[in-house]
Structure 1
């Protein structure tokens, strides 16, 4: 058999309780007697498009006596794993009924648990496989590491890493890529980099995993430098879709417009399709760099826009003061029959807050219930910010008191910011006292209160607050500047001597300073 008729659709009849199994092939009807061997069943399993169809064929496999065939069983387990979490129970029953299991069928079920959960079952199954006398292979460990990464369980993952080294698979590219991704997910980016550096032959997945890990853990400058290194490494090949998707968020955070321009140009020149994943990244990048019109052009080019793409464009309009355009876009979003989520409502509330549209903000906040969207602390904090910016401090306090859940640091942080705008010191002290408990290591909260005291001439109170910061050794994030030179992103602070070209930089600055002095004297 080389193909199925009627657009390749497998058609199964359950007449007489599966006694007559029928499917259509090349315009002819075939019945159960034509299914003579395991190849027929595996061939048909590959073409099953739904869980119901798979169950029907599963029944015929049992009737035909092929449920113990290793090829058919492995394909059947794999097919159930492709569907949803609820199918894992059936896949496990098929697995448990097998009298003889090879490593392939073990890997199939481990993969299912790693993808769908419960993730701990993947590890339990691995240890049962080892007890049965079977050895894991290069495909087993990436599934296990994926499960450990999903659980953010660094200790279990380190044990798996130990087994990888013990069985001599630590130099395997497939396994090493999984180790890079695992350590990045567990926020141990240094070890992730060490695994990456030990690889002699890296592929695109190796680079993508570490770039994504750097970005996810906030090391956006390192992510961009690694991206440049990848471009210079001719042995790896050109960046793919995944490379650009994981690099664009770093461009957004670092406002690296030149890198973003290069990526956009590369997409156009290579003919790569701008889907929602790429488009959303480009829109966010252009939004952070103030290029609203270009962001809009990118949005228009996206063929299948999902809620993420719409949210990115609404956020772009809102952050630059185009609240009316953001609201109009939300109306278009609803006209397309799409369902909003919490992120899109947060973007709308933020737009209203920056534009001072209090009534519209209240309306949108109440609409969340109509769409069944749960309100979280970010939404409440945005409403406090909306009311506070507009000068409705009393209403903001009442709103906090009426919250169904205990207000968190974001809510009180928004209230403190509003007090700073409108110079309400008494309420700022109350908000700050809450924040000292909820967010004690955030130096920015103390600085706001200290500056308010200084503006009011209350120098002793300001000194007291700054003393608390010193005594508790709370460090304020150091301000820095950044610049791109020859597509390389450099970051530096005041009197920073960490750059390898420090001597040349300061020498150039001194020469420029002398030139300026000479011009001023003349």
Structure 2
């Protein structure tokens, strides 16, 4: 089959689809420019396929600009079961490929998956001799980050340096995001510090990186540094969405208040992303009424916003309000997700509403939602807290999946509350296999042995902790002063103002001794 017959046959294949209709070019010419303009107007997979047929008939399927635009549209609209299937077929039929076409396909795989194909194409691109550019590496690094493939990402970083793009702003931002996703926030910070030029994305990426890696204090400090460094940029909506989760986790209310004040002062629109973050922050800081006020002012309430306010009410014991918000959600026609049901089950657990919890649990099936390990764990916690330990065990035995560490952890906590040592022993043995590195499991059971006067068994468990070098995370105290979050651990002398702090404590102690000296 010669080239013309092949293209005609391919075009007829598209034409035979029931939705095919002839495009009217109007003011556009049947050349590459005209097809690129028309592809820009495509809003559905059908329109893309129809125009693809015209491209084949006109013999422009090997035009690099047209092919790149066509691939991009398939990436945007393809609804097939195999992600990137049609886009890849268009790419594979090209005899000559320039860097722009390679980048479009790599970007598609980096966004939709399979992510490994983005890495494979990058390797194939290098073997083919096609030079990379400043747009290639961010897409490849995005795929590495999605896979948490730090080894491959570091190799790609090496290619970046070799190509002289390590100081490029676009590439540098991608490196920060990659290292953050791979839990190497220290290297991400080094990349940030070495950048000669930064923009708002650079700062936002570092804030997100610190928050994702559990370094909320560093995220807040970094945010303060950003505010004092107005030369680079000023906070935008994405900055606030990035910092508010750190404020929520650390209950840093002063920083959160400042963020909200900044939003009001600058007139930034409080949409669903920013609004849900504000609700979570106020909820964690105990300001339920303000959280509700933020909720009421959001126009485009999506499932994330509803979930935030339900969680806010549930965590503070306002179970009735949480259920009322759920009813309003249903009336608004919003389909709840698994997280909303988890928040509702948690509210039932803390309020001891066993019957209501069962009702919520069963309702998940009506919405076609898959129950996950945390939903099962919440039900076990609900039954266990209420003292129904036998029913909790029966519930676990009747689960359609193998119970995980969270489920048994909830049951162990219930055993501790109701002092059921025999059941706790059985559960502990399972947890030492499922979750052997978590010290709290051993400590809980050891404490129960000590309460029962079984000192030898308690000593064995604590020795096991030492032998396995398993350490319980150290507790700490914290205080927020002038929007700065200070953390203090036991015998902690790492704070830069340690001498001043202890000197002040000694002075306070002397004052107390003088004031309370016996007469």
TM-score, reference length from structure 1:
0.92
Residues 223 and 243 of structure 2 are in contact (CA less than 8 Å); yes or no, is this contact kept in structure 1? Answer: yes
Secondary structure in 2 matching 1:400 = helix
Bigger mean CA deviation after superposition, 356-365 or 117-126? 117-126
- CA positional deviation for 1:18: 7.7
> 2:69 maps to what in 1?
75
Deviations 1:234-264 (A, max 9, x none): 1122111111111111111111111111111
Secondary structure in 2 matching 1:481 = strand
Residues 85 and 116 of structure 1 are in contact (CA less than 8 Å); yes or no, is this contact kept in structure 2? Answer: no
> 2:45 maps to what in 1?
51
**Structure-2 change in CA distance of 1:379 and 1:414 (3 Å):** same
Deviations 1:18-50 (A, max 9, x none): 895325xxxxxx28xx52432222111111111
**2:236 aligned to 236, 240, 247, which one?**
240
Deviations 1:383-441 (A, max 9, x none): 11111111111111111111122211111111111111111111111111211111112
Residues 103 and 134 of structure 1 are in contact (CA less than 8 Å); yes or no, is this contact kept in structure 2? Answer: yes
**Structure-2 change in CA distance of 1:506 and 1:50 (3 Å):** same
> 1:203 maps to what in 2?
199
Runs of 4+ in 1 over 6 A off after TM superposition: 13-19
Q: Distance in 2 between matches of 1:179 and 1:96?
A: 29
- CA positional deviation for 1:303: 1.1
Deviations 1:105-140 (A, max 9, x none): 111111111111111111221222222221100000
Gaps of at least 5 residues in structure 2 are: 1-14
Cα-Cα RMSD: 2.0
Equivalent residues in 2 for 1:182-261, closer than 5 Å: 182-261=178-257
- CA positional deviation for 1:197: 1.3
**2:511 aligned to 499, 515, 520, which one?**
515
Residues 148 and 157 of structure 1 are in contact (CA less than 8 Å); yes or no, is this contact kept in structure 2? Answer: yes
Pairing 1:60–2:54 present: yes
Deviations 1:70-91 (A, max 9, x none): 2222221222222246362222
Residues 318 and 351 of structure 1 are in contact (CA less than 8 Å); yes or no, is this contact kept in structure 2? Answer: yes
**Structure-2 change in CA distance of 1:412 and 1:45 (3 Å):** same
Equivalent residues in 2 for 1:359-378, closer than 5 Å: 359-378=355-374
- CA positional deviation for 1:451: 2.1
Equivalent residues in 2 for 1:27-426, closer than 5 Å: 30=26, 35-84=29-78, 86=80, 88-426=84-422
Secondary structure in 1 matching 2:437 = coil
Residues 440 and 472 of structure 2 are in contact (CA less than 8 Å); yes or no, is this contact kept in structure 1? Answer: yes
**Structure-2 change in CA distance of 1:36 and 1:414 (3 Å):** closer
**2:483 aligned to 481, 484, 487, which one?**
487
Residues 85 and 117 of structure 1 are in contact (CA less than 8 Å); yes or no, is this contact kept in structure 2? Answer: no
Secondary structure in 1 matching 2:85 = helix
Gaps of at least 5 residues in structure 1 are: 1-12, 24-29
- CA positional deviation for 1:16: 12
**Structure-2 change in CA distance of 1:15 and 1:345 (3 Å):** closer
Residues 319 and 351 of structure 2 are in contact (CA less than 8 Å); yes or no, is this contact kept in structure 1? Answer: yes
Secondary structure in 2 matching 1:90 = helix
> 1:502 maps to what in 2?
498
Q: Distance in 1 between matches of 2:407 and 2:127?
A: 52
Residues 45 and 79 of structure 2 are in contact (CA less than 8 Å); yes or no, is this contact kept in structure 1? Answer: no
**Structure-2 change in CA distance of 1:20 and 1:281 (3 Å):** closer
Bigger mean CA deviation after superposition, 64-73 or 480-489? 64-73
Secondary structure in 2 matching 1:340 = coil
Q: Distance in 2 between matches of 1:499 and 1:421?
A: 37
Equivalent residues in 2 for 1:10-21, closer than 5 Å: 21=23
> 2:6 maps to what in 1?
none
Q: Distance in 2 between matches of 1:66 and 1:449?
A: 72
**Structure-2 change in CA distance of 1:21 and 1:473 (3 Å):** closer
Deviations 1:365-389 (A, max 9, x none): 1111111111111111111111111
**Structure-2 change in CA distance of 1:39 and 1:347 (3 Å):** same
Q: Distance in 2 between matches of 1:264 and 1:279?
A: 10
- CA positional deviation for 1:516: 2.1
- CA positional deviation for 1:326: 0.9
Residue correspondences, number: 502
> 2:456 maps to what in 1?
460
- CA positional deviation for 1:199: 1.1
Secondary structure in 2 matching 1:482 = strand
Secondary structure in 2 matching 1:483 = strand
Deviations 1:139-188 (A, max 9, x none): 00000000111111111111111111111111111101101100111111
Q: Distance in 2 between matches of 1:404 and 1:39?
A: 57
Q: Distance in 2 between matches of 1:61 and 1:108?
A: 19
Secondary structure in 2 matching 1:474 = coil
Secondary structure in 1 matching 2:487 = strand
Q: Distance in 2 between matches of 1:117 and 1:352?
A: 38
Deviations 1:454-502 (A, max 9, x none): 3233333333322222222210110011122222211111221111222
